Amino acid sequence: MAHLLNTSFVPSSQTLRRSPNLPPLVPSLPGRRSRPRVHCKIREIFMPALSSTMTEGKIVSWVKSEGDKLAKGESVVVVESDKADMDVETFYDGYLAAIMVEEGGVATVGSAIALLAETEAEIDEVKAKATSNSSSSPSSSPAAAPEPQPETIAENVNVGSAPFPVSPVVKTPVSMAASSVHPASEGGKRIVASPYAKKLAKELKVDLGSVVGTGPLGRIVAKDVEAAASAAVESTVAAAVGPAPGAGAAASPGIELGTVVPFTTMQGAVSKNMLESLSVPTFRVGYTITTDALDALYKKVKSKGVTMTALLAKATALALVQHPVVNSSCRDGNSFMYNSSINIAVAVALDGGLITPVLQDADKVDIYSLSRKWKELVDKARAKQLHPQEYNTGTFTLSNLGMFGVDRFDAILPPGTGAIMAVGASQPNVVATKDGRIGMKSQMQVNVTADHRVIYGADLASFLKTLASIIEDPKDLTF
């Protein structure tokens, strides 16, 4: 039966395996069938692997509390991966018996973060079993007084191996039932808020305990935090006495000098990827592109929602159509692949990290749809709600620091891609015209870093020449 159900239930108490030829220990009464003893069944809920690069995850919040009844497909916990916050659902019906990694705790992929009991009556037994094994199976969470992991008596419920049901945090209804006190609770009342709301509360210094949630079942959402912050500012201004508002605001940047700060999950992933990129032999080629025509086009279409990022991505994609080797990738060191799609990843700086949302099939999508998609991706990236396919499917990467006035820089090649282009600011320069006169033109510097195992100098030179011709005559960008 266990084989048919594809499960590995193990009794919570050890029983002797008796030979079928031996008589029963307790004889059955005449005329009455003996009733088999049912043992407590325990399942471990694992830390899921939410992306191919994720090695550990941080518990952002438990959607359910200890003692809550769970239904298959219901969200249980919000996990912060190396790129995004995602709701993780359960594959089984049961009761959340013991939370082993508290909110804020970090656990490696595949390690147990909670225990699931089959019935409500078994919750206490599961908790007792977890407590009895605390000395031999410590939790991977750094939180104070964590619950221990169980021994091998529990069934392993691998919710982390693909495919797994994961949905954006903002779309999942949250149960407010609470039967235990968590560190994020006050007075025994659990505070449930979306990850973005928690991030906003931290940035705006809003106490979530004083915020009334208007989301599903009372969940605190971003607009609740913003409303509370606005109310606090208004009351502060109204009661202000003494120095002018903001007189001492710059004196407290919120950074304690001299302290050692551990990497966030995202920073750890970025660090790992950058170290991995050092094993790839790369080279760099620069090019100067005149942007007068592109700037004029941008002024015309800006009011229609078109962004400069979308224009650059579109121009790059059209150039890659003519130079597929620059859009290729080498992963094993023995072969390379001509990618069938042109997916432009664009680097976006976040608080405490970096992520590269992907504009998929950028060569085929019109500039207006591309701009709308880019705005959507940036909003989701800042809310840490990107799906894995929205940030790990890039075939060519753009990194633009032009908005900061940077005129040129080099970018590090992301692992698994063939090239990345660093874009500097467009600035007016004095140049000599073809007729020998002196004139002014807006120009920008681009530098491409490429994998020299696949892409050669002539390939990049030809690609950049094509890109320059598209940008300097951008009529094809708005088709």
Domain extents in the chain: 43-129, 195-230, 280-472
Give, in order, the Cα–Cα distances in Å from 385 to each of 50, 83, 347.
Answer: 12, 9, 16
Instruction: Answer whether 0.85 is exceeded by the pTM.
Output: no
The reported pLDDT for the residue numbered 255 is: 76
Task: Identify the CATH number of the domain defined by range 43-129.
Answer: 2.40.50.100
Residue with tokens 């750094």: 142
**What's the CATH fold of domain 195-230?**
Dihydrolipoamide Transferase (4.10.320)
| Active-site annotation, residues | 452
Q: How far apart are CA 118 and CA 402, in angstroms?
A: 57
Residue with tokens 């820089």: 409
The reported pLDDT for the residue numbered 452 is: 96
The reported pLDDT for the residue numbered 417 is: 92
Q: Which are the contacts of 26, defined by CB distance < 8 A and separation ≥ 6?
A: 34
The reported pLDDT for the residue numbered 187 is: 43
Q: How far apart are CA 291 and CA 428, in angstroms?
A: 9
The reported pLDDT for the residue numbered 216 is: 59
The reported pLDDT for the residue numbered 173 is: 38
The parts of the chain modelled with pLDDT lower than 50 are 1-23, 25-38, 135, 137-188, 236-252
Q: How far apart are CA 462 and CA 465, in angstroms?
A: 5
450, β-bridge pairs: 283, 419
The reported pLDDT for the residue numbered 458 is: 96
pLDDT digits (tens, 9 = 90+) for 157-212: 444 433 334 434 333 333 333 333 333 334 445 677 776 777 778 877 788 888 88
Q: How far apart are CA 467 and CA 319, in angstroms?
A: 5
The reported pLDDT for the residue numbered 79 is: 84
The CATH number of domain 280-472, selected from 3.30.559.10, 3.30.110.60, 1.10.3720.10, 3.30.499.10:
3.30.559.10
Q: What percent of the chain has pLDDT over 90?
A: 33
Q: How far apart are CA 298 and CA 288, in angstroms?
A: 19
The reported pLDDT for the residue numbered 447 is: 97
Give, in order, the Cα–Cα distances in Å from 105 to each of 60, 137, 144, 371.
Answer: 8, 16, 9, 38
pLDDT digits (tens, 9 = 90+) for 76-123: 888 876 667 777 877 778 888 788 888 878 888 888 888 878 787 777
The reported pLDDT for the residue numbered 378 is: 92
Give, in order, the Cα–Cα distances in Å from 247 to each of 206, 235, 242, 251, 463.
Answer: 21, 17, 10, 9, 53
